A and B are shown apart, each in its own frame.
Chain A
Amino acid sequence: MKHSLLAAVLSLVAASAGCAYADWRGEVSLEARHFTSSPIDDAQPGSNLSLSGELEYHTAWDDGRQSFTLRPFARVDQHDDARTHADLREAVWIFHEDQLEVRAGIDKVFWGVTEVYHLIDVINQTDALENPDGEQKLGQPMLKVSLEKDWGTVDLFLMPWFRERRFPSKDGRPRTQPRVADELAEFENRREEHHPDIALRWSKNLGDWDIGVAHFHGTGRDPALRPGIDARGRPVLIPRYEIIHQTSLDLQGAVESWLWKLEALRRSGQGATYVAATGGFEYTFYGVFEGSTDLGALLEIMWDERGDRATTPFNRDLFVGLRWVGNDVDGSELLGGIVTDWDNGSRFMNLEASRRFGNDWKLGLQARFWHNIDDADPLFGQRHDDYLELKLTRYF
C-alpha cells in the first residue's frame, strides 16, 4: 500500500518534470523552548531545541487545469523521540475546469472560523507533537470532489485511510500526565484505520456572510483517553477511537469593523450525543497609534453540553484577547489572550508575536501559561509546563 503510493507519487513527479511550470520552495526552522517550572515527571526537560524543515514542490500543466503539489515535513527534536518525526503533509493532484474541482492524494482541509478552539475541524488528524494549539495537521489521504454552483459549493470527501494521533513520548513536554501510549491505541471498529470515512459540506457566500453546513461520518479524530498500563507496567493513557456522526455549522460575517464567528456541532458516537458551540467576535480599531497600525479586541465563548464530562478543556470557557497588527515593512504582529473556564476557574494564557527580518527570515515568539488548573480539567497534566518559545525561520 505504502510502496504503491510512493511509486505513484514518484511517477507523477517524474511525469511533471519538464512541464511548463514547476517550482520548489521550502523553509527551515530552529525552535528553542524554555520551561519556567520544574517538570512533573523527571524524564521531562527544562528546555528543548528542535529543528524542522518543510519542502514544497508544485507543478502545473494542461493550461493550468491540472497540478501536483508535494509537501514533505520533518522534525528532529533534542529530547522527545516521538517529536522527531516526518510526515507527508501533501501529495495531491488537482484537476479543475469551470465549476468542477477534483483533488486526489494526501491533502489538508481546514473547516472553521474561530481563533482559539477549532471545534468543527474534523478532516485532518491533529499533529499533537507540533504545538498545543492543534493547528498543525497530518496529511489525510482523500478524494475530494467540489462543485461550485449559484446555490453554493458542495464538497464531497472520501477518506479511505485514517491517521492516528501521535502523542509526545515520556521525554516530551508539554504533555498529559501520564503520557498517552499511542502504541496501545484501540478502535471501536474492527477495520481500525481502514474504516472508510466520508464527509459532505455545503457552503455559500451571502453578501457580508459566509455559511457552511457539513456532515462527517467516520473515525473521530480525537480519541477518548482511559487510564491503563504500558508493556513495562507503567501507568499510561490509552487512546480509543470511535466511529462518529458529526453535523456542523460554521458562519462568519464581516460587518463594518466587526468580524462575527460561530461554529456549532452535534456529535454522536462518543458516549451520549451532545451539542457544542464556539463563537464570538473580533472588533478592529483601524489606524491607531499614529495612523497605520490596527488593534483588534477579540472575544470568544466555548461551550460544550457535556460540561465537566467533556473530553475537551474548552467546555465552559471564555476567551478575551487583543491583536495588534503593525502594517509595517516587517509585518509585525502580536496576538495575546486569556482563556478562562468559568466553571472551574482554570486559566490558559497565550501570547504569539512575529516579525520578518529582510526578505527571507522570520522570528516568532510564543508564550503559553497554564494557571490554577483544576484537577478535573483535561489540561491538568500540563499545569507545570509553562513555556516560552523562540522560533527562527529561514525561507528559501
Chain B
Amino acid sequence: MRATSLLLVSSLILACASAWSAPDVERGLQIAIEADRRDTGFHDLRAELTMLLRNKHGEESTRQMRSQSLEVEGDGDKTMIIFDQPRDVQGTALLTFSHKTDADDQWLYLPALKRVKRISSRNKSGPFMGSEFAYEDLASQEVEKYTYRYIQDDTLDGMPMFLLERDPVDENSGYRRQLVWIDQAEYRPMKIEFYDRKDSLLKTLTFSGYKQYLDRYWRADEMYMENHQTGKTTLLTWLKYEFQVGLSESDFTKNSLKRAK
C-alpha cells in the first residue's frame, strides 16, 4: 500500500518534472522495491571489515573496523561501527540511527575523553575515514532515499542486468545521480557509477564475491571503489558475516557506545 502510493507520487512528480517516462520510473522503482524486499527480515547482523586505501602514487594505508546492525521496522537500520585501526582511533565508535526520509542521527564516542559527541549527519558526502567511500555510500540503503528510472537491460561479465539510474532525494548528497547495475537473477547490486553534482563521473564501485547467508541474504565479500578524478582507490573487504546473533535495541544506545571496545 505504502509502496504503491510512493510509486504513484514519484511517478507523477518525475513524469512532470523531467524527460523520464512514467513506465521507466515505475519499472525502476519496482526493481528497487524488489531488491529491498529480498534483503528485508535479517533482523540483525555483525561483521568485520578492512579498508585498503591507495593513492595514485601507490601509497597504502589500512583501516580495520567492526560493525553491527539492527533492522528497525518502518524506519532505517541502526548501525554501530567500532574502529580498531589505525591505532590512534582504536575504540572510537560511531552510532547511526538512519531514517527513511529524515536526516540520520549520529553520535561519535571518543574513548580518551569518554565523551559521546553528537555529530551532524549533514556531512554525508564527506570521506569516511579518509577513504574513497563517502558516509552515504556506507549508509543503510533505503528505497525512499532515491528516485529511480529503469534504463535498459544490460550484461556485466556475461550476467544479465537491470541498468537503473537513481537520483538522491537529499540535496546534501554529493551526487547528482548514480547508475546501478542489478543482476536479474538475485537483485544484487554489482556495479555503481557515481556522478558528482556537476554530472561528471566521480567514482565506480564494483561488488565481488557474493555469498548467500541464511539461504536468503546476499553479501559481497569485496567492494572496490575507484575515484576517477583523483586516481585513489579503496578496497573494502568484509569478513566474518554473522546474521541473527541476537542483537537488540539496547546494543545501540549511548551506554553501549561507551562499552564498545
Contact = CB atoms under 8 A, between A and B. Distances in A.
A390 interface: no
Interface in A138-190: 146, 148, 153
A210 B255 contact: no
Most buried by A among B55, B255, B259: B255
A99 B120 CA distance: 27
Interface residues of B, number: 36
B137 to A, nearest CB: 14
B88 interface: yes
Interface stretch (A39-47, A232-240, A254-262, A374-382): A254-262
Contacts of B141: none
Contacts of B113: 110, 135
Nearest to B102: A207
Contacts of B256: 96
Residue among B53, B62, B85, B261 having the largest count of chain A Cβ atoms under 10 Å = B261
A287 interface: yes
B45 to A, nearest CB: 16
A25 B165 CA distance: 46
A330 B130 contact: yes
A63 B61 CA distance: 33
B198 to A, nearest CB: 11
Contacts of B114: 108-110
A98 interface: yes
Given A108-B114, A286-B122, A23 B255 contact: no
Given A110-B113, A146-B255, A148-B253, A294 B261 contact: no
Contact of B118 (A210, A286, A328): A210
Given A148-B253, A257-B122, A287-B125, A331 B259 contact: no
Interface in B72-131: 85-90, 103, 105-106, 113-115, 117-123, 125-127, 130
Contact of A329 (B53, B87, B103): B53
A125 interface: no
A346 interface: no
Given A23-B261, A110-B113, A331-B89, A287 B250 contact: no
Nearest to B111: A56
Contacts of B120: 254, 256-259, 284
B244 interface: no
A124 to B, nearest CB: 9
A287 B174 contact: yes
A61 interface: no
Contacts of B55: 329
B255 A253 contact: no
A113 B118 CA distance: 9
A135 B112 CA distance: 9
Contacts of A252: 118
B27 interface: no
Contact of A359 (B61, B117, B261): B61
A23 B82 CA distance: 15
Contacts of B61: 329, 358-359
Interface in A315-337: 327-331
A208 B259 contact: no
B130 A328 contact: yes
A22 to B, nearest CB: 11
A362 B88 contact: yes
Contacts of A108: 114
Given A67-B261, A254-B120, A256-B120, A329 B130 contact: yes
Contact of A292 (B126, B250, B255, B261): B126
Given A148-B250, A287-B126, A69 B90 contact: no
Given A148-B250, A359-B61, A327 B126 contact: yes
B255 A360 contact: no
A129 interface: no
A292 B127 contact: yes
B219 interface: no
A358 B61 CA distance: 7
A149 to B, nearest CB: 10
A148 B249 CA distance: 10
Nearest to A155: B255
B87 A253 contact: no
B118 A259 contact: yes
B122 A356 contact: no
A50 B114 CA distance: 24
A222 interface: no
B121 to A, nearest CB: 7
A393 interface: yes
A60 interface: yes
Contacts of B255: 96, 101, 146, 148, 153
A219 B118 CA distance: 30
A318 to B, nearest CB: 22
Interface string A108-135: 1110110000000000000000000001
Given A153-B253, A256-B120, 8 more contacts: A67-B259, A112-B115, A207-B105, A208-B105, A257-B122, A259-B120, A327-B130, A329-B61
18 contacts: A58-B261, A96-B250, A108-B114, A113-B118, A135-B113, A153-B254, A253-B118, A254-B106, A254-B118, A256-B122, A257-B122, A287-B125, A287-B174, A294-B123, A328-B127, A356-B86, A359-B85, A395-B86
